[in-house]
Amino acid sequence: MRILLIGYGKMGRTIEQIAKQRGHEIAGVIDVTNHDTLSSYSGANVDAAIEFTHPESAFKNVAYCLQNNIPVVCGSTGWLEHFAEAKAICEANNGAFFYASNYSVGVNLFFHFNEYIASKMQAYPQFKVAVKEIHHTQKVDKPSGTAITVVDGIVANYPAKEGWLLAPEQADEKISIISERIGNVVGTHVVRYESDNDTIELMHDAQSRTGFAEGAVMAAEWLQNKKGVFGMKDMLNL
């Protein structure tokens, strides 16, 4: 498979290594130094694009791919106010679009268990729920896209909650997200239910970027010959 890498930071380089290990060809690499060359790629010379850039560029990159017959896997976060528009572009062009805030198989199992726990904890309002995320100091958006996905999973299964606030802001109906940037932390996410008597925690702690990169390449492989908008629940059948 010919893979176009859009974004060549730490994740892009790790994805390149994993893709080559899995027998794929890197059709090209797009970063801030040569972004103007993106226009030379289309479905004629690329089988899939994997996009990990920044919030301000992600939507334009995704839209370009969808408008030029390139199935695109996107892992950029912080741009989801444009997600509905990206979905509409995908549908208008009969394209293939795969989005996840986190491509780790372990994290997506974490999402699954988070939703189950929330569905049970809604019966016990004495437990106050909060989410904490920790990432490396180079991560731009705050809170992380993964933390927002975690909150979305809670809200969908806990009717008394609606949305989130970034700590230290608080409101009874909102879920507080504590967001920290420390050293080279790859990514830690914790869901905490606390009452006066006890505490329940669900945690995922990433040890390296390899799991994210493997998931992104797996998504590009899975997306071949498909049309529509997909996510990790589709690929993992959760």
Active-site residues: which are they?
A: 135, 139
Q: What's the CA gap between 227 and 123, in Å, rounded?
A: 40
Q: What's the CA gap between 48 and 223, in Å, rounded?
A: 8
Q: What's the CA gap between 93 and 95, in Å, rounded?
A: 5
8 Å CB contact between 142 and 181: yes
Q: How distant, in Å, are the alpha carbons of 48, 150, 164, 210, 219 from that of 24? A: 11, 32, 40, 16, 13
8 Å CB contact between 33 and 41: no
CA dihedral 8, 13, 17, 20 (to 10 degrees): 10
